[in-house]
Structure formats: structure tokens, C-alpha cells
Structure 1
Amino acid sequence: MMFLLKLLARLPLPLLHGLGIALGWVIYWAPGRHSARMRDNVFQSSVCQPGADCRRLLRRVIGESGKAIVELLPVWLRPYDQVVKLVKGTSGWEHLDAARAAGQGIILIGPHVGCFEIINLYYAASHPFTAMYKPPRKAVLAGLMLAGRQRGQATLVPTDLSGVRAQLAALKRREAIGILPDQVASSGDGVWAPFLGRPAYTPTLVASLQRKTGAAAFFAAAERLSWGRGYHIHIFPLAAPLPEDKVAAATAINQGVEDVVRRFPAQYLWSYNRHKRPGGVPPPDESQDA
């Protein structure tokens, strides 16, 4: 199996992305809740106009979702120097250089947009980088993911209190960390905040780490270029430090993520159940009233 995956990883990226488009449609029409959730998330969002506009976006999303799966093969399995070369350009990288020159730690906030897996690897080619890691259930996939992500100067830490402490320590050493801001927070670790027109239970970790360390925070997205040409990494500075109030900070984070999604709407992970309510968490209205 591993030999076959490594063989597929050698295929040209344009061919892999072409296969990914086909895979996206196969998965979309397969039984299960995947397609219904993707449809609901697209049509209930504020990103497209109801009707033909949302249908056009959905068709693009289906193809891009398949590309997101197959491109993991070259990103995780090709030699590291070849992976870094898949990044064809950057915008806003000077903001990261300025933060390092000022002696600040860096928080890279990377939503599930485009090839978000390559951002960490590209940064870690030149500088230390710490990110949280939750192993999948299957041991083979867990080993593949760990080997693919932990390269260069990248360090992976668990998604628990020890991982939070490791990220805090990295920021105090004036290094960089990566956080996925658009995952559903676990019970007690988040607040309800608006996202794409609907409430979403949002993590509060970014604001806490920034407040404790004075780190500079940036949104990052790896745009998937057309026709398999590679990727372009975009860096967007936060307009202002995050407020101390948890709901206000979560709202600011979600607005930043939404801005990135609106730039690259077809490349967002619309199949993720972003608006679900974790067990033990009251609904948004009850939470806000409390």
C-alpha cells in the first residue's frame, strides 16, 4: 500500500488534481451525509447568492474538495525539498519577517482553505514551527500523517494541555506556531460567535496565547493555483490585537476567517460540520443569555 501511495505521489500535480476532480464527484454522489452537509453549508452561507450563484459555487467546491484529498500524497510523500518548491510565490510574507525582526512570536492562523497542509512545511523550511496534531484512528494513516507533517524544523504536539503549553513555550522563545481556527471547540474551550451568517462554537486559544505572549497573529492561506501549477501562500495581518472579551475575540477571529473564505470560496472545506453543537454545550441563545 505504501509503495503504491509513493508511486502515485510522483505523478505530476496537474494530473493529480485532474484525478482529484473526478474523486470529488465520486465522493459527492456516494451514500452518506457528506454531500448533504456540503450542500447545506454552501447554500446556507452568506458567501453566495441563493440560486444559480450557489449552484455554480457548489460545482467548483466538489472538484476542489477532491483535489484537497489527492494533493496530500505529494505534500506528505515527496522529498521535502520538492514539496517546498510547490509553493510558487507568497504575498505578505514581509509581515512575518518584520515580526521576527521585532522579536515577536508568531501565530499563523490557517483556516481550512486551499492546501493548508503546505503552509507549515514551507515555513518550517527556514524557521522553527510548532503545531498541534491529533492522530487519526488508523495507525497506518497516523504514521503517514506524522511523517509527512513533521519535517524541516516542524514539531508536532498533542491536542491537549501539554500541547497548549508547548505552543506557549514556543511563542515565549519567539518562534512560530500554527492554529486551525475553524474547528469546533470542545466543550468548555469555546464560545458561540457568528460565522458565515450562523452561530459557530469557536475556540478561544488564539486570543489567550496572544494576550500571554504579545505574539503577532496572522491569517494564512495556501491558494491552490489552477491547472496544477502549485500554490501561492497569502499572509494577512490582523487589523488589531484581539480583545480580552472571549466572545469579541472569537467574533474577530471568525470575521478574519470569513474574509479569507470569501477570497477563495471554492477552496474552503465546506463538508466540515462547522456549526454543530458539542455535547454539554447549551445552544447559542441559552449560552449568550447565561
Structure 2
Amino acid sequence: MRDSLYTIGGFKFAFALAHLLPRAVNARLATWIGLSAYYRSPEAQSALRSNLHLVTGLGGADLDALCEENVGNFSRMLADYFLCAGPNAATHAAALLHHDGGEQHLAAARAPGKGIIVVTGHLGHWELGGLMLALLGLPLTVVTLEEPSSELTRWREACRRQLGIKTIAVGPGHPFAFVEMMQTLRRNELVAMLVDRPYEGTGACVDLFGHKTEFSTAAALLAQHTGASVLPAFVIHDGEGGYTTMAEPPVPMDIHGDPRVTLQANTQRIATVFEGIIRRHPAQWFNYVPIWRENGKTPPPATCEAGASKLSTEH
């Protein structure tokens, strides 16, 4: 649902509002803007309804209500993102975040000294997840695509940098990104990435809710090259105005087999973990583009036909 607001001017305006108005007012304003944008976009409505129908089996008025709840959650998440993007980010985040005790999984995953590949998705408040890790004193690098403009890219990097979070950009024009990620992991640091929506032609085919789609192969590739643990982590809205952090146990990776065989299997293991999380929180899985393309006129992802895969991730 990106529109004219997804610009450096839109971000600066939203940042100003987040710090001028009470949080409750920003939440209501964000919800109104988000629902207005959603109902102006037939493509977003069709995609979200299709995605959430396959996750939940709902239809009719129940599906409509779930979609509205989803858009409202997404809009309020963005408002909180801007609230936590300023110089007082740590203070705001500390007031919003609650831990579920998953820190022991982080400690155990980092103990071998090979770093941690933190995988998350477009679910909950993924930016707050990075902030949470930084607040725990963990050295974190976020993997991201370039923003629509270089000015917006620099703005978001500066917001992360003031919290001690580094950035590695991937995609065209960044041929050494994979090397940078490996070097980061070999320093026993954390590399965080979104893996549930790779950019076109750069994912592996997986089964998700009984249908074919693509997940990023970046985590599986890095695990094969470095032996780092792959740890799923999410930040979920708790329904009471705050967010709960969830760090899952590491996903078992086969790093000794033939990479041509194990890459897809390892990526499927990650997707299977995500399926369980998405099933529990469909109102917080924010995908307004088609995720499954095999049941309509659009053909399935090329990787599901040809088995090809490349390094991929998305911001």
C-alpha cells in the first residue's frame, strides 16, 4: 500500500506528528489514514483478502473484519515506528516492549561464537525487534534493500545508526553484501533480515499453508557458509498498547550436505516455523501484495518451476 506518503517528506511529516501529538491521537490518525489508503486500492484489498483467506479459511464479513483489523494494526505499528525513531528511541521502546523470556535462545545461539542470523517477517513490529536487540547490548546489523530514494535510505540508516545498529544494503549495485554479512557473523555478531517476501527471482520455492510461494534463501546460504545459528524472532502487538518480543529456538540447518539439495530444504524449515507464527497472528501479517500466485491467472514463482535460487532479502 505504498503511495505518495512513502517519501522522505512523508516520513519527516509522520516523524514530526509522532513527537508532537499524544500517542493515542497518532494511533487514531494513523488508522484513519491507513484504512483510507486501503479502500482506495483495489489491488491491496484483493491481495490481503486472498492472503488472509488462505491462512484462516475465513470469508465474507469475518474476513472483511480481519482485513480491517490487519490494516489498523499496520497503521498503528507505523505510528509507533516514528515515535521510536528519534533521539529518545530507547526510552519510548522500553515503555512499549515486553519480553517473553526468549533471551536464553539468543544466548545459546551465540555461545558457539559463529554469530546469529536473526530471521523475521512482515509480521508485528520488525523495526522494534532490531531496537530491542540493540537495547540488550547485542551488536546488530540489519540487511535491507535500498529505499525508493537515496535521501530516504540515508534517513532510515541514520535512525538505526544512532542506536548502534548497522546496515548492509542488498540488491543491484551491492555485489559484496554477502561478504559483509559473513564477516559480521564471523565477529560473532547478529545479522537480521526479513525473509518472507524476497524480491522477484531471488527466492526458493516453499510450501506455506499448502500452497507454493517463495522465501528468501539468504539465511540458509549464510548458515551453509558460516555455521551461524538461524533464529526466528518477532515483536507482536499484545492488544493492550504494547509489544511482546518472541525469540524462538534456532531452526535446525543441514550445513554439511550438498548445497544444491539442502538450500531449499533449509529454507522450507524456516518457512514452516513462520507458518505457525502467522497462523497465530494473522491480523499482524502485513502483506498487501499477492503471496500465493498459483491459483489465479498469474503463474507460480519461477523458482517453483525451475528450482533456481539466489541470495535475497527485503526491507
TM-score > 0.5 by shorter chain: yes
Deviations 1:28-82 (A, max 9, x none): 1114522222122222x13344445433322311211222332221122352322
Q: Say if 1:63 and 1:171 are closer, same or farther in 2 by CA, change over 3 A.
A: same
CA distance in 1, matches of 2:143, 2:235: 19
Q: Against the structure 1 CA distance between its residues 6 and 55, is the aligned structure 2 distance closer, same or farther, given a 3 Å change threshold?
A: closer
Mark the CA change 1:94 to 1:283 in structure 2 (over 3 Å): closer, same or farther.
Answer: closer
Q: How does 1:129-168 map to 2 (within 5 A)?
A: 129-159=140-170, 160-168=174-182
Q: Secondary structure at the match of 1:170?
A: helix
- More displaced 10-residue stretch of structure 1: 168-177 or 83-92: 83-92
2:154 and 2:179 map into 1 onto residues whose CA distance is 24
In the alignment, the residues of structure 2 paired with residue 108 and residue 8 of structure 1 have an alpha-carbon distance, to the nearest angstrom, of 31
1:179 to 193, 199, 216: 193
Alignment of 1:192-203 (within 5 A): 192-203=205-216
**Selected match of 1:66 from 65, 75, 78:** 75
Name the residue aligned to 1:47: 56
**Farther-moved stretch of structure 1 (252-261 vs 138-147):** 138-147
Kindly provide the amino acid, as one letter, of the partner of residue 168 in structure 2: V
Match status 1:282 vs 2:293? no
* Structure 1 residue 248 corresponds to structure 2 residue 265: yes
Which of 244, 250, 254 aligns to 1:232? It is 244
State the alpha-carbon separation in 2 of the partners of residues 257 and 129 from structure 1.
22
Taking only aligned residues, the RMSD between alpha carbons, in angstroms, comes to 2.8
**Per-residue deviation, residues 198-254 of structure 1 (Å, max 9, x unmatched):** 211222121121122221221111112335x33211111135224652221221111
1:35 is aligned, of 31, 34, 45, to 45
Change (3 A) 1:270 1:6: closer
Cα displacement string for residues 130-153 of structure 1 (whole angstroms, at most 9, x for unaligned residues) = 122222223443232222223322
Match of 1:13 among 12, 20, 23: 23
**Residues of 1 paired with 2:51 and 2:14: CA distance?**
31
Q: Give, as a single letter, the amino acid of the residue that structure 1 aligns with 2:302.
A: P
User: Residues 142 and 168 of structure 2 are in contact (CA less than 8 Å); yes or no, is this contact kept in structure 1?
Assistant: yes
1:105, 1:215 within 8 Å by CA — same for their partners in 2? Answer: yes
How far is the alpha carbon of 1:165 from its aligned partner?
Answer: 1.1
Indicate the SS of the match to 1:60: helix
> How far has the Cα of 1:129 moved from its partner?
0.8
Contact 1:109-1:181 within 8 A present in 2 as well: yes
Amino acid aligned to 1:143: R
Tell me the SS of whatever aligns to 1:109.
Answer: strand
State the SS of the aligned residue for 1:137.
coil
The Cα offsets for residues 110-143 of structure 1, whole Å up to 9 and x where unpaired, read as 1111110111122123121112222222344323
After superposition, the C-alpha distances for 1:162-203 in whole angstroms (9 at most, x for unaligned) are 22111111111111110111022442x422111233211222
Which of 223, 244, 267 is residue 236 of structure 2 equivalent to?
223
| 2:117 counterpart SS class | strand
Which region of structure 1 is more displaced relative to structure 2, 104-113 or 141-150? 141-150
Change (3 A) 1:283 1:237: closer
Hey, what's the Cα distance between the residues in 2 that align with 1:135 and 1:239?
28
Q: What displacement does 1:268 show?
A: 0.7
Q: Is the 8 A contact 1:191 1:250 kept in 2?
A: yes
Cα contact 1:34–1:271 (8 A) shared by 2: yes
Cα deviations by residue, 1:255-289 (Å, 9 ceiling, x for unpaired): 1111111222101113133346999x6373x3259
Query: Does structure 1 retain, via aligned residues, the 8 Å contact 2:143–2:168?
Result: yes
User: CA shift at 1:87, angstroms?
Assistant: 4.0
Alignment CA distance shift 1:151-1:276 (3 Å): farther
Residue in structure 2 matched with residue 269 of structure 1 by the alignment: 286
Aligned length: 285
Q: Secondary structure at the match of 2:162?
A: coil
* Identical counterparts, % of pairs: 21
Identify unmatched segments of 5+ residues in structure 2.
1-8, 309-315
Change (3 A) 1:219 1:52: same
Q: Tell me the SS of whatever aligns to 1:33.
A: helix
